Amino acid sequence: MAQGRMSFRTDSEIKKQAELIAGELGTNTSAILNMFLHAFVRNRGIPFDVSLTETYEERKQLNKTLDERQSMMDEGNEQNFTSHEDAKELLGI
């Protein structure tokens, strides 16, 4: 089979980490990217889930609520959320 060449840019730190992990697996990033491309073609799409957990409006409301809670904390009120999940639960999201 004829070989084609691909070239793309990525963050240098991601590249370094990917090379280290590939090496630990006994392979290289070229082989890893080829595996991804084969799975991409076989699945006719990205071979893993790519999704948002909230809608834009839910995220906007959540951020507004978190900003309000931060203001309360800044004013000395210690009642606060410990996570996004706490805020989402209160908002019914």
Q: Report the greatest alpha carbon distance in the chain.
A: 68
Which pLDDT value is given to residue 71?
A: 79
For residue 76, the number of C-alpha atoms closer than 13 Å in the C-beta half-sphere is 0
Q: Assess contact for 91 and 68: CB atoms under 8 A.
A: no
With bands split at pLDDT 50, 70 and 90, how would you rate the model's confidence at 35? very high
Q: Three-state SS across the chain?
A: CCCCCCCCCCCHHHHHHHHHHHHHCCCCHHHHHHHHHHHHHHHCCCCCCCCCCCCHHHHHHHHHHHHHHHHHHHCCCCCCCCCHHHHHHHHCC
Residue spans per domain, the chain? 12-43, 56-91
Cα-flanking dihedrals φ and ψ of residue 77, to 5°?
Answer: -80, 115
pLDDT at 92: 62
| Structure confidence by residue, pLDDT tens digits, 10-26 | 999 999 999 999 999 99
